[in-house]
């Protein structure tokens, strides 16, 4: 609610009955958005102000594979020692020409010319874990930003654990991610239709596939003004 995402962010899980092949993600995503049960489910979830219902058949999809290998929160360690945060964990405020209430964390996440942008490497920034963290930090249209990093980190960790499946190798005891993640955008005959009619960084949809349990989770958010009541 505080981040203005309540009522606009959700995760819907479905089961499927055929073997999943990562190299066929495009076909999988197209079949997903054409499935009558999926279309019906999404249409029930969508409200007029937050979502564009799938009222026309999906004719094509864009699929972007998203790396997902992280099994700990170590990826964020550099943020704690680069000047973005104070030793207490409080986010350092900074001046910005456009945003009156700005900070070094959002600048590091959004602006490539920030001195802290590459504190987290390019490869790590592409990881689903980092993308999730960034989405939560930027929030919705009337986001009330946190003074400390802890709420962002703890919420990212919890959602990531809920969305991603991992397994331990019985011999090496090493834990690895088994989920396949890809970012999706669907199109009908009129153009882009899901997760929104127009491009917006904070309007996103990810398909997260567990190939062993044959479960797929659609994790999505539509940028705008969220609910302020439960």
pLDDT the model gives residue 51: 59
The CA-based dihedral angle spanning residues 122, 124, 129, 130, taken in that order and rounded to the nearest 10 degrees: -40
pLDDT the model gives residue 79: 96
pLDDT the model gives residue 45: 63
pLDDT the model gives residue 48: 44
pLDDT the model gives residue 101: 82
Yes or no: say if 23 and 63 are a contact pair by the CB < 8 Å rule: no
pLDDT the model gives residue 53: 65
pLDDT the model gives residue 47: 52
Quick one: which of 49, 29, 27, 51 has its CA closest to 38?
A: 29
DSSP letter for each residue of 82-98: SSSB-TTSBBPEE--SS
pLDDT the model gives residue 198: 85
Q: What are the strands, taking DSSP E only, across the chain?
A: 9-15, 60-66, 93-94, 102-103, 166-168, 175-177, 180-188, 191-194, 204-210, 215-221
pLDDT the model gives residue 99: 74
pLDDT the model gives residue 82: 93
43 vs 64: CA distance, rounded Å = 24
Q: List the chain residues with pLDDT less than 70.
A: 45-53
pLDDT the model gives residue 96: 76
């Amino acid at each position: 609610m505080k981040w203005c995402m309540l009522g606009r962010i959700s995760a819907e899980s479905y089961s499927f009955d055929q073997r999943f092949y990562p190299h066929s993600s495009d076909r999988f995503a197209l079949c997903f958005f054409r499935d009558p049960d999926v279309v019906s489910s999404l249409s029930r979830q969508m409200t007029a102000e937050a979502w564009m219902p799938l009222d026309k058949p999906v004719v094509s999809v864009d699929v972007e594979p998203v790396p997902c290998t992280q099994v700990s929160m170590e990826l964020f360690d550099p943020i704690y020692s680069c000047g973005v945060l104070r030793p207490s964990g409080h986010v350092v405020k900074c001046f910005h020409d456009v945003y009156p209430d700005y900070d070094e964390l959002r600048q590091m996440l959004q602006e490539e010319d920030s001195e802290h942008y590459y504190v987290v490497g390019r490869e790590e920034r592409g990881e689903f874990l980092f993308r999730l963290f960034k989405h939560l930090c930027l929030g919705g249209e009337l986001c009330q930003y946190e003074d400390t990093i802890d709420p962002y980190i703890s919420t990212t960790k919890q959602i990531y654990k809920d969305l991603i499946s991992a397994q331990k190798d019985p011999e090496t005891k090493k834990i690895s991610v088994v989920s396949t993640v890809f970012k999706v955008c669907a199109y009908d005959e009129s153009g882009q239709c899901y997760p929104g009619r127009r491009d917006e960084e904070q309007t996103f949809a990810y398909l997260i596939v567990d190939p062993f349990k044959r479960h797929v989770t659609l994790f999505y958010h539509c940028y705008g003004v969220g609910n302020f009541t439960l």
